[in-house]
Amino acid sequence: MSNADSRSGPGLDDVVRAALRASEERGVPVADIPVSVVATEAGISRSTLLRRLGGTRQALDEAVRAAGVDPGGQRPVRERAVEAAATLISAYGLAAATLERVAAEAQCSVPSLYAVFGGRNELLFAVYERYSPVLDIETMLAGPQADLPETVRTVYRLTADALEREPRVLPAMLADALARPGDPLVQALHERYFPRMLDGVGRWLTSEIEAGRIRDLPVVPLLQQMIGPLVFHLLLRPVAEHPGGADLPTTEETVEIFAEMFLRAVGCP
């Protein structure tokens, strides 16, 4: 091949873009993408690409770094997408977290989101697991149990943390659930996670009933009595904290107040 032929085709900038596309689509750093894959993505042969890189891929990694991306440090698509979706949901609600907007925010491609999650619902399930207290509460209840009052306080602390931390994903999701209870996504979230809450918190409440520490009440209303008042208070708290609003207790004081109210309401003497 002549020198002219070796210089024809995509330039180094095009090769960098091809390497970044391959990295995004596979969810791995550029440094982990084989040269042959980059060449295919760029539409040239591996040998041609290596000639343009001077025989090694070091020139490619340096060019990628010059473009503002660490070739060995790009975080996986899953992490970037979950964080991007959370930011969109917090700011604009569930409807804003389309795959196109998430891909733009996460600097990846829509096909890479399908490759990692399979679809929008699975992406939003991953967001819910990351930013709701479900996993933390399940882990706590699966370990050695504290006494009833301290376990109630721990559930409340985990719930408060999930509702108050930024990005405010859980309040936005709850707002959508209340506004559009029949929405297919809201129903899918409920069908996926409410049985888990019943299996985790509900099973623990049942054990407390059987031990004689909680009144014998239906588990679902009991679960709602436990979580509902605290969640309602925390959802309205940002409004009440504005200038001229109510003088509110601290979060820890709030946990103590609602824990005592719950135990007085349902606890056995």
pLDDT at 3: 38
Angle at alpha carbon of residue 61, lines to 60 and 67, rounded to 5°: 90
CATH code of the domain in which 213 resides = 1.10.357
Residue 196 lies in a domain: yes
pLDDT at 101: 95
Residue 54 lies in a domain: yes
- Distance, CA of 49 to CA of 71 (rounded, Å): 17
Residue 150 lies in a domain: yes
| Lowest mean pLDDT across 1-5, 36-40, 104-108, 262-266 | 1-5
pLDDT band at 9 (very low <50, low <70, confident <90, very high): low
Question: What are phi and psi for residue 214, nearest 5 degrees?
Answer: -130, 145
* CA R_g for the chain: 26
Tell me the residue range of the domain where 183 lies: 132-266
Query: Tens digits of per-residue pLDDT, 134-175?
Result: 999 999 998 888 899 999 999 999 999 999 999 999 999 999
- Distance, CA of 68 to CA of 107 (rounded, Å): 12
Query: Tens digits of per-residue pLDDT, 98-110?
Result: 999 998 898 788 8
- Distance, CA of 84 to CA of 97 (rounded, Å): 9
- Distance, CA of 189 to CA of 169 (rounded, Å): 14
Contact status, residue 235 vs residue 174, Cβ threshold 8 Å: yes
Residue 127 lies in a domain: no
Indicate whether 180 and 56 sit together in one domain: no
Indicate whether 141 and 249 sit together in one domain: yes
Query: 121: part of which helix (H) or strand (E)?
Result: helix 120-131
pLDDT at 244: 67
Indicate whether 40 and 86 sit together in one domain: no
Residue 124 lies in a domain: no
pLDDT band at 30 (very low <50, low <70, confident <90, very high): confident
Give the long-range contacts of residues 51-56, CB within 8 A, separation 24 or more: 51/6, 52/6, 52/12, 52/15
Indicate whether 143 and 200 sit together in one domain: yes
- Distance, CA of 145 to CA of 23 (rounded, Å): 45
- Give the Å distances, CA to CA, from 144 to 23, 138, 139, 149, 197: 43, 12, 10, 14, 18
196: closest CA among 144, 146, 133, 150?
133
- Distance, CA of 9 to CA of 134 (rounded, Å): 52
Indicate whether 246 and 138 sit together in one domain: yes
At 145, list the tokens. Answer: 């149990």
Contact status, residue 15 vs residue 38, Cβ threshold 8 Å: yes
Residue 126 lies in a domain: no
Indicate whether 154 and 257 sit together in one domain: yes
Indicate whether 138 and 180 sit together in one domain: yes
Residue 238 lies in a domain: yes
* Residue 7: pLDDT over 60: no
At 109, list the tokens. Answer: 């491609």
Indicate whether 152 and 44 sit together in one domain: no
Query: Tens digits of per-residue pLDDT, 47-77?
Result: 888 888 877 777 888 888 887 787 775 577 8
Q: How many domains does the chain have?
A: 3
Calculate the dihedral angle through the C-alpha atoms of 157, 161, 163, 169, rounding to the nearest 10 degrees: -150
Query: Tens digits of per-residue pLDDT, 192-235?
Result: 998 988 889 999 999 999 999 999 999 999 999 999 999 999 99
pLDDT at 219: 94
pLDDT band at 250 (very low <50, low <70, confident <90, very high): very high
Indicate whether 60 and 157 sit together in one domain: no
Indicate whether 62 and 81 sit together in one domain: no
At 227, list the tokens. Answer: 């979580």
Q: Which residues pair with 214 in a beta bridge?
A: 267
Indicate whether 183 and 242 sit together in one domain: yes
CATH code of the domain in which 84 resides = 1.10.10
Indicate whether 139 and 44 sit together in one domain: no
